Amino acid sequence: MAIHGDLKTFPLADLLSYLRSSSRTGTLSVRRDGAEWELAVALGRVTGYAGPELRENLGQIAVMSGLTTEADLRTAIAYAKERGVPLQRAFADLAIIAPRQLNECLTELATESLYDLFLDLPGTFVFSDAADRAIGIDLAEDEERLPLDVDINHLLMEGARRQDEWTHIRERFPRDDVRVRIVHEHLPPLDALGVRERRVLASLSAGQSVSDICLELRAPVPSVLRTLAQLEADGAVQILGADDARPPERDRFDDLLRQAMTLKAAQQFDEAVAILEVAVRMRPDSEAARAALKETLEDQLKDLYAAMPPLKVPHVVDEARLRRMRLRPEERFVVDRLGANMDVGGLIMVSSLNERDTLKMLRKLVHGGIVTLR
């Protein structure tokens, strides 16, 4: 049985507490900011993890964490493309990074990403009772999943601690556009730093702002500011305060809001929602960003319902193409019910996807000529 919902009405801490107390085993998918995180859960523990950093930024992580050089990364990428193998396999085959060393780095990064999910940010989730798949980094596969063994009780306690900590960090950094100087003479040895600390320092060395770092690391402002606060306490950086001289129009957050509103006016709702989710992630305490996101989602639902009226019944007209589609389990659940003569409203009610995603999937099938409405 699948459980799905909104993280604002069913926070991650409450959801994990329920999964632990009921000894559920399955896969929890969390979607936020246009990205997806997947946790394998078994009998009160998180046993596996997959996230956007593993799929999208592995090469950058390896370089910024000090595991390899830009030159060796280019060699590995060329090897991976030539042989048609994942980047992990290329690192191992070329003896650039040992698998154990890479796993340790990614495990630390994945654990930090798990804590980030506890922040009070918008998103949706789906939990499926599917049998716990064997999860591990398989260098022969295109999609890697990282083995973890984290007690949910520990996650809950650390998540709550970091939520409380964020209140104090916001007092220390009332604004996000702080200027930071690296104190090179006080930098600790590289191996004494955590993965996220190394990546933040590398980004600062490249002249990036806090907002830029958040976007590059796919990390929320609270996590990046928390890392800066720790580095400051260790004497590795000096916080110079907000850059009051910078014109407001150059502020990345305001740019995102303006860009999102332009896209919304053009009815490019998916793009607008994705940008607003990034803005909310950057500044969780911004009421303007939250209100804009809510309004855009409501407008998109109106647009989707105009194209997919609730009383219309979808019928499959191209079975062959439908069978060739790569679908997630919750999408397959909806597709399997297209032959049951259910109308759009009924499919939304039984779907483990949320209302918006169900309508988007059905509209995609209709536009692709795979399904017709009657």
Domains assigned to the chain: 3-161 (no CATH), 173-242 (1.10.10.10), 248-307 (no CATH), 314-373 (no CATH)
Q: What is the pLDDT of residue 135?
A: 36
Q: Name the residue type at position 326.
A: R
For the chain, how far is it from start to end, CA to CA, in angstroms? Answer: 30
Model confidence at 176: pLDDT above 80: no
Task: Please count the other Cβ atoms lying within 10 Å of the Cβ belonging to residue 19.
Answer: 22
The pLDDT of residue 296 is above 60? yes
Which residues, including other chains, have CB under 8 Å from residue 51's CB and lie 6 or more apart?
35, 36, 37, 38, 110, 113
- Please, what is the Cα angle at 184 between 162 and 70, to 5 degrees? 85
Measured in whole angstroms, the distance separating CA 273 from the mean position of its chain's CA atoms is 14
The pLDDT-based confidence of 256 (bands split at 50, 70, 90) is: confident
pLDDT for the residue numbered 94: 92
Instruction: Place 142 in a pLDDT band, splitting at 50, 70 and 90.
Output: very low
Q: Provide the pLDDT for residue 130.
A: 60
Residues of the chain above pLDDT 70, percent: 88
| Of 51-55, 202-206, 330-334, minimum mean pLDDT range | 51-55
E-state strands within the chain: 3-6, 25-32, 35-42, 45-50, 124-128, 146-151, 178-182, 237-242, 314-316, 371-373
Q: What is the pLDDT of residues 55-66, one digit of tens each?
A: 656 787 788 777
Give the mean pLDDT of 31-45. Answer: 83
C-beta of residue 186 within 8 angstroms of C-beta of residue 100: no
Q: Is 62 helix (H, G, I), strand (E, B) or coil?
A: helix
- 15-29, 74-88, 292-306, 319-333: segment of lowest average pLDDT: 319-333
Whether the pLDDT of residue 233 is over 60: the answer is yes
Residue 83: band (very low, low, confident or very high) from pLDDT cuts 50, 70, 90: confident
Q: Using CA atoms, how far apart are residues 333 and 327, in angstroms rounded to an integer?
A: 9
Mean pLDDT confidence for 306-320:
90
pLDDT on residue 299:
93
Encode 32-60 in three state secondary structure. Answer: ECCEEEEEEEECCEEEEEECHHHHHCHHH
User: pTM value?
Assistant: 0.59
**What's the chain's average pLDDT?**
81
Taking the C-alpha atoms of residue 273 and residue 281, their distance in angstroms, rounded to an integer, is 12
Distance (Å, whole) CA 255 – CA 93: 43
pLDDT for 55 equals 62
